[in-house]
Structure formats: structure tokens, C-alpha cells
Amino acid sequence: MKKTFFPAHLIGTVSAPASKSEAHRRMICAGLTQGETMLTGFMDSADMAATMRCLGALGSTFNRDGDTLTISGMQGKIAKMPVMDCGESGSTLRFFVPIALTVAGGTVFRMHGRLGSRPMDVYRDLFVPRGVRWYMGVGADGAAELTVRGKMEPGDYVLPGDVSSQFVSGLLFALAMALSFVEGTLVLPGLLPGMKLGLANIVVMYALFFMGPKQALVLDLLKALFVFLVSGWTAGFLSLCGGLLSLLVMWLLYYHAPVRPTWYILSVCGALFHNIGQLLGASVILSSAVSLYYAPVMLVLGLVMGALTSITLRALLPALGRLGYNIKEK
């Protein structure tokens, strides 16, 4: 039978299916933070269910309403060596090995189907020399089990350039959790939501000194946007207030002062005005000056953390240079 087709303009709306790779990462970011996060356009699958089970083992909870998934981040104390059922999801397994070592001291991963035969040499070769115990076994029901026990040690973790990005993402999740843990343990009780010590400002300082003010401003805005997405508008607004005021002061001192100050002075001034910006932002939110009662404590913290930030950035420069990053000041 002969058919003739005539070209014409297409009109309509097509909904693209959600990216499973991106959904994994968004779910993990939401599950590892505090508070609630809503993901829209969520499509259920066996791999998504595996990631939800692993997050659930760390204390996250989920509520599904149509294609909207509400995730409540880790709550309560995390059990040591929790059991995580990865089903047949290789993505889930690769993401969670570094996470489990960072937050739980290891875990037992249950694997079904052919997952037990998937290569994990990349992680084994990274972690075993650093003291992590790594062994494969078989559970009572015949399912393969991978047990990792130990903790992530500080240092350089070098991966081959041809491995899956899932290994890289797993390490980045672990790094984010480590920084969040350090910063979270140093926050004084009673501070307003979103007021933290600002370890992430190391990145903004590097951009200002070595990349230029435009790049530093972009990073500052992106940092505030990320805080808004994972912690809510209050934390995002306070991050924006502190970050912009801090960057403005450091930019004026670094690029326009008659004599360029030392890194220590720049860092301390940046930290002090970061905290001042947060206090002013909190006053706007509360419609009162009650937050200014925190000023003495926040100013002292600014002095201490400003010095620490300067020392940390200077200590990181040799490693950044070896990685090919610019370490010549503007």
C-alpha cells in the first residue's frame, strides 16, 4: 500500500522523561541535608527505590504524592554499619560507598542479580591502602554482600580519567558531608538558622584572588542559590547577605586599597563582614534588632574563622597548583 507524507510544522507539548542519573544525585543531595526537599517530575524505578532504601538506612524519610517526592533529610543518630540494599543498581552502590564510610564508618551492601559481579576495583584500590576493610561475601539468602568498614582519611584521591563519573560523584558527596559535619559541629547552639562559620568562603576567596571579581561574584551567587535549594529561603537569604557584603569588602581592600593587605587581614575582614551581613539579614527577617545581640559572639567567630580560612587557603595552594589550577594572584 502506497502512502504519501507531507511535511508540516509540529505544534504541541512534549514532556521529556526525567534523567535517572540526575534523579539519583538530587535525591542523595536532598537526603543528606537537613530539612525537607521537594522533587517534581519524579519517575519511580527499581534503581530509584534502591537509592531511597539506602538513604532510609541513614535516617531519611520519603513521602510520594503523584510525581512529587518530598524528602526529609537525615534525622537522629545514624547506626553504625547499617545494611543497605542496592538491589541491582550499580549507580546506587557507587554513590554510597564513600558516603557510608564518611557518615557511618562503613556498611554492608546487599546486591542482587549481576550487581555482585560489577567492577568496584576503583574504590577498593583507593580505600584499602588507607586502612578500609573490604571483603565480598554471600548472605543467608544467597545474595552477594560487600562489607566495607573504616573511615575516609584526609588526603589525595586520584582516579583514572576513564572511569564512570559515579565514582567521582561518590567522592564529592563524601567531601560535602565532611565539610558539612565540620561546620555543623562548630556552630554554636542558639544561632539563627543559616548562620554558620563559612568554610565554603575559601572557594570565593580563591576566585577573588586568582580568577577575578566577576568569577568570585558568580560563585557567591551560586553558593547562596545552592543553600536556598537545600536548606530553604531563610538560610539562602542569610548566605546571600553575608556573602555579598564579605565579597564587597574584600574586593575594595584587595583591588582598590592604596596598599594591598595581607591574606590574613583580607580573610579576617571578609569573615567579620560575612557575619555582619548575616546579622543584618536576620534583622530584616525578624523585623527587629534582636539578632544584633549575637554580634559580640559572631564578631569573635569572624576573627577566629577568618584566620583559619586564610591558613587553609594558603595550605591548599600547592595541591591546587599540582592539579593545574592558577596560583598566581591577579
pLDDT tens string 47-99: 999 999 999 999 899 999 988 999 998 876 777 788 999 999 999 999 999 99
- The least confident of 79-93, 120-134, 278-292, 300-314 is 278-292
Q: Give the three cell numbers for residue 306.
A: 577568618
Q: How many domains does the chain have?
A: 2
Residue where a domain terminates, one of 149, 175, 201: 149
- pLDDT of residue 9 exceeding 60: yes
CATH number at residue 39: 3.65.10.10
Interatomic CA distance for residues 220 and 240, integer angstroms: 7
- Cβ neighbour number for residue 38 with a 10 Å cutoff: 12
CATH number at residue 266: 1.10.1760
For the whole model, what pTM was predicted? 0.59
Residue 84 near residue 103 (C-beta atoms within 8 A): no
Interatomic CA distance for residues 130 and 286, integer angstroms: 48
Kindly state whether residues 199 and 289 are assigned to the same domain.
Answer: yes
- Could you give phi then psi for residue 148, rounded to 5 degrees? -120, 135
Residue type, 44: D
pLDDT digits (tens, 9 = 90+) for 21-40: 888 998 998 888 877 888 88
Interatomic CA distance for residues 233 and 274, integer angstroms: 18
Interatomic CA distance for residues 26 and 37, integer angstroms: 10
* Whole-number pLDDT of residue 179: 61
- What is the chain's mean pLDDT, rounded? 83
Give the alpha-carbon dihedral of 306, 307, 308, 310, to 10 degrees.
Answer: 90
Instruction: Write down how long the chain is.
Output: 330
- Taking alpha carbons only, the member of 193, 183, 220, 202 closest to residue 294 is 193
Interatomic CA distance for residues 291 and 280, integer angstroms: 8
What mean pLDDT do residues 231-248 have? 84
Kindly state whether residues 145 and 239 are assigned to the same domain.
Answer: no
Domain that holds residue 116: 20-149
Kindly state whether residues 199 and 318 are assigned to the same domain.
Answer: yes
Kindly state whether residues 301 and 192 are assigned to the same domain.
Answer: yes
